[in-house]
Amino acid sequence: MKGLVWALYVMMQDPGAAATPSDRMPVDSSPAFTGVTYLNKASCANDAATFTKMPARDKLAGAAPGVNVAYVCVIQPKPGHYRE
């Protein structure tokens, strides 16, 4: 996968928030890039799983009670690789 890397993203999930009073589904934020990239999928997936499993008290400060944090891996172009 020349020119591509695996990137670690974080998502904040507030299960108590709802778009409308009749909507009871959890509201997820857009994934935010953490600035960390990996050359292989396994390394990224391992870190994402490790960080997601951490207790909220160890990875959150100043967030509303009940907010969850999940980490995901996304393949993306290597920074600076694709230019016009």
pLDDT in tens, 32-67: 999 999 999 999 999 999 999 998 888 888 877 778
Residue 82 lies inside a defined structural domain of this protein: no
Residue 18 lies inside a defined structural domain of this protein: yes
Could you tell me the residue range of the domain that residue 65 belongs to? 4-77
Residue 19 lies inside a defined structural domain of this protein: yes
User: Which of 10, 71, 74, 69 is closest to 37 using CA atoms?
Assistant: 74
What's the pLDDT band for 24 if we cut at 50, 70, 90? very low
User: Which of 32, 42, 39 is closest to 6 using CA atoms?
Assistant: 39
Residue 84 lies inside a defined structural domain of this protein: no
Residue 17 lies inside a defined structural domain of this protein: yes
Residue 83 lies inside a defined structural domain of this protein: no
Whole-Å CA distances, 35 to 6, 8, 10, 18: 11, 7, 10, 29
pLDDT score, position 59: 85
Residue 22 lies inside a defined structural domain of this protein: yes
Number of domains, the chain: 1
